[in-house]
């Protein structure tokens, strides 16, 4: 099972919010997922990024790959800095 950490869009039309989820690589953007590990709201001022860093590190250690957007969000949340130091 190839897993990927990616964004899942929620919210109304024109008002996007995203959940950071772990899903199989072949599923649709809004389809099934394994676990929710965070939340991202680009519309708030300042932008809100909430991530369960421990669960994100666990999934990365298991071999899950993050999309480029999620990778930048995890860097802003401080998850990748601690992975690199370990």
61 pLDDT band, cuts 50/70/90, is very high
With beta carbons less than 8 A apart as the criterion, state whether 32 and 14 touch.
no
pLDDT at 29 over 80: no
User: Which CATH number belongs to the domain containing residue 36 in this structure?
Assistant: 3.30.1320.10
Query: Residue 75 belongs to what domain range?
Result: 3-85
Q: What are phi and psi of 69, to 5 degrees?
A: -65, -45
Q: What is the helix, strand, coil percentage profile of the chain, to 5?
A: 30, 35, 35
User: What is the count of structural domains for the chain?
Assistant: 1
Residues 6+ apart with CB under 8 A from 24: 1, 2, 3, 4, 32, 34
Find where tokens 């601690």 sit: 82
Q: In the chain, what percentage of residues exceed pLDDT 70?
A: 92
Confidence of residue 57 (pLDDT cuts 50, 70, 90): very high
């Amino acid at each position: 099972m190839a897993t990927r950490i990616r964004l899942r869009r929620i919210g109304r039309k024109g008002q996007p919010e995203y959940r950071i989820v772990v899903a199989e690589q072949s599923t649709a953007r809004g389809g099934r997922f394994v676990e929710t590990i965070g939340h991202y709201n680009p519309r708030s001022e300042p932008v809100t990024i909430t991530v369960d860093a421990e669960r994100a590190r666990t999934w990365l250690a298991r071999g899950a790959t993050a999309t480029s957007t999620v990778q930048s969000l995890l860097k802003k949340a401080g998850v990748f800095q601690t992975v690199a130091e370990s």
